[in-house]
């Protein structure tokens, strides 16, 4: 199955919709509720973590020789930023969508009357 396509009608979903509405996006072709599959979510998360760790490693090697007071925190910031940027890119590239399972409508429960003390 091609990436970023609806599994029901094969309509190509825009990448921004996948990133913005990962849990519940509506197919513009058939109106079906879709979600990103667990495989693409997990792979995007681990890919983002790997890129973040690489950036942290390279930047900590660079900043370890500097005498800056913020030399220890900048590699962490750069690693976090690399994770934040690369993980959605991995999710867009993988883009494996699946139909969202139907959820049962919540059943309203009766409100119990307060217990009388008399
Ligand atoms: Zn569709």
pLDDT at 55: 97
Judged by DSSP in three states, 22 sits in: coil
> What distance in angstroms lies between residue 53's CA and the mean position of ligand 1's atoms?
37
DSSP 64: T
List the chain pLDDT tens, one digit each, 118 residues.
578 999 999 999 999 999 999 988 999 999 999 999 999 999 999 999 999 999 999 999 888 887 777 788 999 999 999 999 999 999 999 989 999 888 777 787 777 777 777 6
Q: How many residues does the chain have?
A: 118
C-alpha atoms less than 13 angstroms from C-alpha of 71 in its C-beta half-sphere: 10
> What distance in angstroms lies between residue 20's CA and the mean position of ligand 1's atoms?
17
pLDDT at 1: 58
**pTM, 2 dp:** 0.76
Instruction: Read off the tokens for 30.
Output: 């058939």
- Judge contact between 18 and 92, C-beta under 8 A: yes
> What distance in angstroms lies between residue 116's CA and the mean position of ligand 1's atoms?
55
* Distance of alpha carbon 38 from alpha carbon 15, whole angstroms: 17
Q: Is the dihedral of CA 47, 48, 52, 53 positive or negative?
A: negative
Q: How far is CA 3 from the centre of its chain?
A: 16
Judged by DSSP in three states, 63 sits in: helix
> What distance in angstroms lies between residue 107's CA and the mean position of ligand 1's atoms?
29
């Amino acid at each position: 199955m091609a990436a970023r396509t609806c599994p029901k009608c094969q309509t190509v979903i825009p990448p921004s919709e996948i990133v913005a509405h990962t849990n519940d996006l509506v197919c513009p072709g058939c109106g079906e509720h879709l979600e990103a599959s667990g495989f693409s979510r997990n792979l995007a998360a681990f890919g983002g973590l790997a890129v973040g760790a690489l950036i942290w490693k390279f930047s900590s090697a660079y900043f370890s020789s500097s005498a800056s007071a913020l030399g220890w925190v900048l590699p962490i910031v750069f690693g976090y930023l690399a994770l934040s940027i690369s993980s959605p890119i991995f999710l867009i590239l993988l883009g494996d969508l699946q139909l969202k399972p139907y959820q049962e409508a919540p059943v309203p429960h009766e409100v119990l009357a307060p217990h009388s003390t008399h």
